[in-house]
Amino acid sequence: MDGRDVRAVPVDDKMTVPIKKVGVIGSGQMGNGIAHVTALAGFDVVLNDISADRLKSAMATINGNLSRQVVKKIITEDARKQALGKIVPAETIEGLADCDLVIETAVEREETKRKIFHDVCAVLKPEAIVASDTSSISITRLAASTDRPERFIGIHFMNPVPLMELVELIRGIATDDETFDTAKEFVTRLGKQIAVSEDFPAFIVNRILLPMINEAIYTLYEGVGNVEAIDAAMKLGAHHPMGPLELADFIGLDTCLSIMQVLHEGLADSKYRPCPLLVKYVEAGWLGRKTQRGFYDYRGDKPVPTR
C-alpha cells in the first residue's frame, strides 16, 4: 500500500469540469479523512451525516489530526485553521445540493449505497459528478442505479486517508472521459498518487490484500499459529508494518467479510471463501478496534490477543 512506486497518471493543467465544492457522505473514518485532505487542498467541503453526534465527533477528529500535522511541521497553524473553516457539517442530503462532486463513504453494503445515490441524485445539479469510495463493489452496477452513469466514478482512498499516498480510480462501463479526467485532476490536487483499476471485484489493492488477511485467519482457524505468532511472523519475516490480524482489526472485520463476500460471489472461485472464523467474529459483533474487540481485545492498557 506504499504509493511511492506508483506512477501518477498525467493530467491537464485545468479540470475539464471545475470542482470547487465537494460533498462527502458519511463522517466515519474514511469520510472525515477525505474531508480533511480535501479541505487542506483548498476545496470547500460539505460533510454529511444523519447523526449530529457523529458529525461533531468527526469535526473533533479532523481538528485533532490537523493539529498533529502542525506539531509534526507537515502543515502550518494557518493551514489548519483555513482547512477547518472550509468544512461545513450537514445533517440533511439537501446540504449537498450545490456540490460539484459528491463522494459516498457509507458502509460496504450495496443496498445502502444505492439508497444514498437515489436520494442524493434527486437534489444534485445535473452536471455534478457522483463518486463512491467503495473498496470492492462494481462501479458499473452502482452507476446504473443513478440518473447519471456517465458522471459516476469510483474514487477509492486508502485508510488512513491523510497518511496514505494512493487513490484507486475506477471507471464504470458508462463513465465518460470528461468525468474520468476531472477525477484524475481532483485526486492529483489532493497530493495523492493514482492507480487506475479496471472494474473487477475489489479492484487492485483489496484483490491482493484481503485474500492475504483471509488466509491469515484460516491459519489461525486451523491452529497453525496463534494471533501473536501469525502477526509477528509477517512483521518480522516479511517486514510488514502491521500483522495481518492486527490490520484486519484496524480495517474492521465486517468490512473484511464484505469484501471477501464480494470477491467470492463476483469471481466464483473457492479460494475467496471467507474463513468461518471471520464470519463467527462478525456475528459476535467483535469487529476490531471500532468495537474494542476483534482478534485483539483493546479494552485494557494494551491490546491482548483473543485467541
**What is the set of domains in the chain, with CATH numbers?**
3-197 (3.40.50.720), 206-305 (1.10.1040.10)
DSSP label at 50?
A: S
- Residue positions annotated with a catalytic role: 135, 156, 168, 206
| Neighbour tally for 147: CB within 10 Å | 13
What pLDDT is attached to residue 16? 55
How far is CA 218 from each of CA 70, 148, 253, rounded to the nearest angstrom?
42, 41, 14
* C-alpha grid cell, residue 81: 485553521
d(CA 246, CA 182): 36
Dihedral of CA atoms 291, 293, 299, 304 in degrees, nearest 10, equals -160
Establish whether the linkage from the previous residue to 201 is cis, with ω within 30° of 0: no
Give the residue ranges of the chain where pLDDT is below 50. 1-15
pLDDT of residue 17: 66
Torsion of CA 265, 269, 274, 275, to 10 degrees: 160
d(CA 218, CA 161): 29
pTM of the predicted structure, to 2 decimals: 0.88
The pLDDT value given to residue 18: 87
SS3 10: coil
pLDDT score, position 6: 38
C-alpha cell at 29: 473514518
> Do strands 304-305 and 296-297 pair parallel, antiparallel, or not at all (unpaired)?
antiparallel
* Contact in structure between 153 and 178 (CB atoms under 8 Å): no
